[in-house]
Amino acid sequence: MTEEIKKTIVIDASPAVVFKALTDEKELTQWFPNQGAIMEARVGGSVEFKFLRPDGAKHTMRGKILEITPGKKLSYSWKFDSAPDSNEVVTWTLEPVDGGKTRVTLVHTGFKKPSQKDIESGMTLEAGWSHFIDQLANHCKGR
């Protein structure tokens, strides 16, 4: 059985600013993958994020862009090197909110339930996305 994560946050920045933070390689590495990013911002384009976790483990995520609408939506497949047969998808939806802000909704689908060891260590996708969506908000705030 596959799982789903859904996170929503209002960010104090325009949809254009948030979208750039999601799709520009230089911006991405300021809030998300701490070891490098590739983002070919077009349908079918490659996505690659390299992470170094606090426990020293290295992870690489690769995918392809499935849907992209500037300032509104970004969706890509998500496959960690450690789980190349997964069918995960990450989708970001952006909606303008009064005051020049943006409601950001992240949905990550298709992953398996985390192991008890990952739950106990706090190394779950749920915990990761909670951290990174806050990082995105801080990166974009007031820009």
pLDDT tens string 55-113: 788 889 999 999 999 999 999 999 987 777 788 999 999 999 999 999 999 999 988 77
3-state secondary structure of 41: coil
Listed residue (76, 73, 70) closest to 109, CA to CA = 76
Name the CA radius of gyration of the chain, rounded. 15
Burial class of residue 133, CB neighbours in 10 A (0-12, 13-18, 19+): buried
10 and 103 Cβ atoms separated by less than 8 Å: yes
Q: What domains can you pick out in the chain, each with its CATH number?
A: 2-140 (3.30.530.20)
> What are the tens digits of pLDDT across the range 12-59?
999 999 999 999 999 999 999 888 999 999 999 999 999 887 778 888
Q: What angle do CA 114, 75, 29 make, to 5 degrees?
A: 80
